Amino acid sequence: MNRDDELVTTADAAKITTLAISTLEGMRVRGEGPPFLKIGRRVAYSRGDLLAFALRDRRKSTSDPGAVHSGEGA
């Protein structure tokens, strides 16, 4: 298994993304956060999806507006 394919818990995802667990939970409800899997009643994230989610807002400077995501911004 590739490390990017490794599944992690919401608590681990929070550490990886530096977001609060409650922030990830709210993002899941609104469909705004990283992709996740439901395995029974459990939620899991792949490390690769978390990295892709974090990097989508990468900027080159503080004045760089970054990418506008579908359904967000103007």
Whole-number pLDDT of residue 16:
94
Report the 10 Å Cβ neighbour count for 36: 18
Q: Is the pTM of this model over 0.75?
A: yes
Confidence check: pLDDT of 74 > 50: no
Instruction: Judge whether 73 lies within some domain.
Output: no
Whole-number pLDDT of residue 63:
86
Whole-number pLDDT of residue 72:
46
CB-CB contact of 47 with 15 (8 Å): no
Instruction: Judge whether 65 lies within some domain.
Output: no
Q: For the chain, what is the domain count?
A: 1
Residue-number span of the structural domain to which 49 is assigned: 3-55
Q: How many CA atoms lie within 13 A of 70 on its CB side?
A: 1
Instruction: Judge whether 29 lies within some domain.
Output: yes
Give the whole-angstrom CA distance, residue 41 versus residue 48: 22
Confidence check: pLDDT of 61 > 80: yes
Instruction: Judge whether 66 lies within some domain.
Output: no
Dihedral angle of Cα 6, 7, 12, 16, to the nearest 10 degrees: 50
Confidence check: pLDDT of 31 > 90: yes
